[in-house]
Copies of this chain bind each other. A is one copy, B any other.
């Protein structure tokens, strides 16, 4: 038994963690664009990186540290520097040298950091303005606790910043977990970069870190993203310093999953220019894999996304997308619901004028669940997506957004 309380502070909520957002002149004047996350105690870092072949220079740098200085995929690391507006991807050897150079300077500025690393997001194929970034190193106050400023600084096309923190009480003891992330819209297919930083003072054994992180990412961010289709910079970090002196595996598993789930929903809802959050719940498939494939195809379908924008309960497009998925299905066992309204039931069209009116009312809601029951087995998967409207086009057609 354990209790979970929502608290303030984001990544700074757990004991010994600090963060801030600063202005290095990468974004428009006055907008925060560089952030850091720091633990005053020695910490361990686990990570999940993009599978994009052209992963960005900061990821190449971090991966190499994980290999040379890490153990079982966990790196002794208590400092991450983050910049927005420049992805440092497709920048070759020079891009990697720029990361090395910045990390050297950070090491000179602050003695005794453990293997500091970087994370970047922004435009691809432009060399990092290292002078601008390093020029603010002397303004960094390692003991600043402003998680909100850090969450602001890492934003790109996000409509709002995203942070969260919980205190978990269990057997009379407590630990905390905090997080911030950036990312907007369905990550796939738009591939907006996802950066996520989780901090915890739970006394997390290093051997549990990768298991718990990768399992939670699979169940949360991967419901809004497809593995093979990630941006050059996607990264999820979990930094743990053990400062609470307490650990309870199931409680931590629950808390981590909850943190990442809430952030994933926040990202899906913050679709670039989107107004609606849609859960595509596929049940009754032969296997979970089948359900996953359909749920993701639905959440990625342009025709479905534009119909949602038009508040049109266009179940035909949904059925057609299911049929096109390559997954075994039959129209005679398929049923489709918009929230509580069933429009098609095991091959029968229930879409009378009255039914259509009810379904159209559902479509006006901000949160919609579209349930597709294949009626063939126990396989299920839920994916999250959003509508696609004029604002998506506006944001992404703007020159070099």
**Residues in chain A within 8 A of chain B (CB atoms):** 51-55, 87, 89-92, 123-127, 189-191, 228-232, 300-303, 306-307, 309-312, 314-317, 319-332, 344, 347-349, 351, 388-390, 392-393, 396-400
Whether A347 touches B92, Cβ cut-off 8 Å, given contacts A52-B320, A393-B393, is yes
A sample of 26 inter-chain contacts (CB < 8 A) reads A53-B323, A53-B328, A87-B316, A90-B319, A90-B331, A90-B349, A123-B316, A124-B315, A124-B316, A125-B315, A125-B319, A125-B349, A125-B351, A126-B349, A189-B301, A190-B302, A191-B301, A191-B320, A229-B324, A232-B320, A302-B392, A303-B396, A310-B397, A312-B397, A314-B400, A392-B393
Structural contact, A191 and B307, CB atoms closer than 8 A:
no
Structural contact, A89 and B320, CB atoms closer than 8 A:
yes
Residues of B within 8 A of A90 (CB): 316, 319-320, 331, 344, 349
Whether A324 touches B396, Cβ cut-off 8 Å, given contacts A92-B347, A92-B348, A125-B316, is no
Structural contact, A399 and B52, CB atoms closer than 8 A:
no
Residues of B within 8 A of A89 (CB): 316, 319-320
> How far does the alpha carbon of A315 sit from the alpha carbon of B400 in the complex, in Å?
10
Structural contact, B349 and A396, CB atoms closer than 8 A:
no
Structural contact, A344 and B125, CB atoms closer than 8 A:
yes
Q: A90-B331, A306-B397 are in contact. List 5 more A-B contacts (CB 8 A).
A: A53-B331, A191-B320, A231-B320, A312-B398, A390-B393
Residues of B within 8 A of A324 (CB): 51-53, 191, 228-231
> How far does the alpha carbon of A48 sit from the alpha carbon of B123 in the complex, in Å?
43
Residues of B within 8 A of A54 (CB): 319-320, 322-323, 329, 331
> How far does the alpha carbon of A401 sit from the alpha carbon of B73 in the complex, in Å?
51
Residues of B within 8 A of A396 (CB): 302-303, 306-307, 310
Q: Which of B312, B321, B389 contacts A400 (CB 8 A)?
A: B312
Distance in angstroms from A342 CB to nearest chain B CB is: 13
Structural contact, A309 and B397, CB atoms closer than 8 A:
yes
Distance in angstroms from A321 CB to nearest chain B CB is: 7
> How far does the alpha carbon of A126 sit from the alpha carbon of B344 in the complex, in Å?
11
Structural contact, B124 and A52, CB atoms closer than 8 A:
no
Q: Which of B92, B302, B303, B351 contacts A302 (CB 8 A)?
A: B302
Whether A389 touches B399, Cβ cut-off 8 Å, given contacts A52-B324, A320-B124, A324-B231, is no
Closest to A310 in B: B397
Distance in angstroms from A195 CB to nearest chain B CB is: 15
Residues of B within 8 A of A314 (CB): 400
> How far does the alpha carbon of A51 sit from the alpha carbon of B399 in the complex, in Å?
38
> How far does the alpha carbon of A317 sit from the alpha carbon of B347 in the complex, in Å?
42
Residues of B within 8 A of A330 (CB): 53
Structural contact, A323 and B393, CB atoms closer than 8 A:
no
Residues of B within 8 A of A123 (CB): 316
Structural contact, A399 and B312, CB atoms closer than 8 A:
yes
5 A-B pairs closest in CB distance: A124-B316, A310-B397, A54-B323, A306-B396, A53-B323
Distance in angstroms from A87 CB to nearest chain B CB is: 7
> How far does the alpha carbon of A330 sit from the alpha carbon of B54 in the complex, in Å?
7
